[in-house]
Amino acid sequence: MIPINRAFLTVNRVLLALALGLMLFHFSVYLVYAANLIQFPFDYDQGEGFELVDTIMFSRGQFPYQNVEIFPFYSSNYPPLYHIIPVPFVWLFGPGYWYGRLLSFLSTLVTASAIAYAVYSFDQRRGIGRGHGWIAVLSGLAFLASNFIYHIGPLFRQHISMVMFETLAIVLLAFAPEIVNTRRRRWILALGLAMLILAGYTKQLAAFTAIAALGWLFLRNPRRAIVWGVGFAIVGGAIFLLLTLATNGEWWRQAILANVNQINFPQVEGLFRLWFSLHGALIMLASALVIYEIYFDRLSIYSLWFLVTTVLGGASSGTWGGGDSYFATSIAAMCILSGIFATRTLNRTWKFPENYLSRLLVFPLRPIMPIFSVIALVIIPLFYIAYGWAVIKMPTDLPPYQQIAQLLGREPNADNAFYDSAGRLAGGYADIGHLTTPADIEAGWRIVQMIRETEQPVLSEEAGFVLQAGEQVITNPTQLLNVWLRGLYDGQALIQMIENQEFGLIILRAQFYPEPVLIAIATHYEISETIHMNGFDYIIKRPKPLADATTPP
């Protein structure tokens, strides 16, 4: 091995410092975004208000899995855990978005910390070499820098908390089979599988991580995996059965049957392209480690996790209600794998056992391997810099980001003078990531005042306005659409109320109600005004004169 040139070491440290500075820049934007959303008193992403309604119902000892044919026609399609966690905040502070968003934001920090730990400890625990502190920190920050994670991180939505539980489960299980002490091994296995159950009862999508984890455990020790898998199934199944019985079957109908959706393949293709265009630098490092493990080492749980969640999560991103968030779990795995690859490269601890591939591809290169090791000191930091450059996002009207955007030549391409390299999500309907403004808040309170001045009930596509007005939330439109698409919804009771003009106001944004409901609204209600808030037009409808309420326009 030739001595490492001091100049290359200096360049390595300078480039690592630049990469770290870039990641910290992204983290600062994330902090600004989180602080902005935590203070916003209305729905930012469609559906946040209904997550809050679920939490309020749990705080009152009620299940949100209800019969949608009966007034108030409300139900949830999400598992309970995420909505149970903030219940004490409801008791202390009443309904509010801030605590759900704060908990989601904190869960991303826990996930990033788990990623950094996994990267730093992997080779140490394998007895291959030491950890690399710079790369561990970069790996955790890279998770937070992803546009996909940034978009959903501070939302009152359950997805990012699921990713936290998944990541903790995988990190716990990664070395569990190798623990010699039987009692300690059993405790770690139990804790890891418990985290998987928590993830599954945060959001159903965690099933993909469960498949990867149990599949990997089976590869390591089939008998042990079967025993623990049976226990895992019994505990998870018992909770499932109790929920089904306690809700008179509505848990099964609303959270399982209504969630089987068709895949929009153009949306899948568009989101895969967007995923690679943003994360390609780290995807290449992660994929290189997967290939190495397949041909020269044993397959780690992180590699199988990355493969399974990328394929299954990516395919599911094209379902109704899917989107870029469905790549979040695979991004966590990507950050771990790329960090391990970078650590091993910079520490020069790669090992190639003798086989036909190493004899053909690796051994002939041994004389120049030291040169590659030196060059890698420059190349590895460049991958993180390239990644940091690809995921650039910032407000362009807020110092010091305004000056940085001008320096980089970044023009706003999102709402409220925001630049986001992800652009508008391919094939999706969500448009998030920008900051809210005082004008948005003022527009929201204007809608709330309309509700307060209305003597009749109000049908609103977003719950936040009704909650702020202190009125009863009626229906969850996306869930009505879910059950209608599955042929599980009649809707005559709600349609009859609309036809009788029993609602004083109807507030629409994305018009996610089932088609028969939308037809009834168009027939019996007319637009009184449109209010622009947070990049969307909120359509305010009032009852038509009875003589005109006969046919839709």
| pLDDT per residue as tens digits for the range 487-522 | 999 999 999 999 999 999 999 998 999 999 999 999
Distance CA 150, CA 34 (A): 9
In order of 162, 343, 503, the CA distances from 126 in angstroms are 28, 13, 65
Distance CA 63, CA 80 (A): 9
Spatial contact of 146 and 391, defined as CB atoms under 8 Å apart: yes
Residue 268 tokens, joined: 């899948």
Burial tier of 61 (Cβ tally within 10 Å: 0-12, 13-18, 19+): exposed
> Residue 536 — φ and ψ, nearest 5°?
-125, 155
Residue 188 tokens, joined: 């770690």
Burial call 474-497: b when 16+ CB within 10 Å, e when fewer: bbbbbbbbbbbbeeebebeebbeb
Distance CA 155, CA 392 (A): 20
Task: For residue 276, give every residue at least 6 positions away whose Cβ sits within 8 Å of its Cβ, in sequence order, or none.
Answer: 283
pLDDT at res. 548: 65
pLDDT at res. 234: 97
pLDDT at res. 227: 96
What are the tens digits of pLDDT across the range 258-306? 887 788 898 899 999 999 999 999 999 999 999 999 999 999 999 999 9
Q: Which amino acid is at 233?
A: A
pTM listed for this prediction: 0.95
Sheet with strand 458-460: strands edge to edge:
458-460, 505-508, 536-543, 525-533
Q: Which of 432, 324, 389 is closest to 33 using CA atoms?
A: 432
Distance CA 208, CA 64 (A): 25
Mean pLDDT of 93-113: 97
Residue 90 tokens, joined: 């409801």
Q: Which of 127-131, 220-224, 282-286 has the lowest mean pLDDT?
A: 127-131
Helix/strand number for the chain, H first, E second: 23, 6
Spatial contact of 61 and 91, defined as CB atoms under 8 Å apart: no
What are the tens digits of pLDDT across the range 446-483? 999 999 999 999 999 999 999 999 999 999 999 999 99
Burial tier of 552 (Cβ tally within 10 Å: 0-12, 13-18, 19+): exposed
Confidence of residue 317 (pLDDT cuts 50, 70, 90): very high
Residue 186 tokens, joined: 């059993």
pLDDT at res. 424: 62
Which H/E stretch holds residue 302?
helix 301-316
pLDDT tops 60 at residue 2: no
The packing angle between helices 98-126 and 159-173, to 10°, is 20
Q: Report which of residues 340 and 546 the model is more confident about.
A: 340
Confidence of residue 551 (pLDDT cuts 50, 70, 90): low
What are the tens digits of pLDDT across the range 31-62? 999 999 999 999 999 889 999 999 999 999 99
Spatial contact of 24 and 141, defined as CB atoms under 8 Å apart: yes
**Averaged pLDDT of the chain:** 93
Beta bridge partners of 319: 263
pLDDT at res. 552: 56
Spatial contact of 521 and 541, defined as CB atoms under 8 Å apart: yes
Mean pLDDT of 71-88: 96
Mean pLDDT of 187-209: 97
pLDDT at res. 430: 56
The total number of residues written for the chain in this structure: 553
Confidence of residue 426 (pLDDT cuts 50, 70, 90): very low
Confidence of residue 329 (pLDDT cuts 50, 70, 90): very high
Mean pLDDT of 106-119: 98
Spatial contact of 378 and 11, defined as CB atoms under 8 Å apart: yes
Q: Which amino acid is at 546?
A: L
Beta bridge partners of 541: 506, 527
Task: For residue 233, give every residue at least 6 positions away whose Cβ sits within 8 Å of its Cβ, in sequence order, or none.
Answer: none
Residue 392's SS3 state is: coil
Termini Cα distance of the chain = 80
β-strand pairing of 536-543 with 525-533: antiparallel
Return the C-alpha torsion angle 250, 256, 257, 261, nearest 10.
140
What are the tens digits of pLDDT across the range 352-391? 888 877 778 777 777 777 777 788 899 999 999 999 999 9
Spatial contact of 483 and 68, defined as CB atoms under 8 Å apart: yes
Task: For residue 175, give every residue at least 6 positions away whose Cβ sits within 8 Å of its Cβ, in sequence order, or none.
Answer: 125
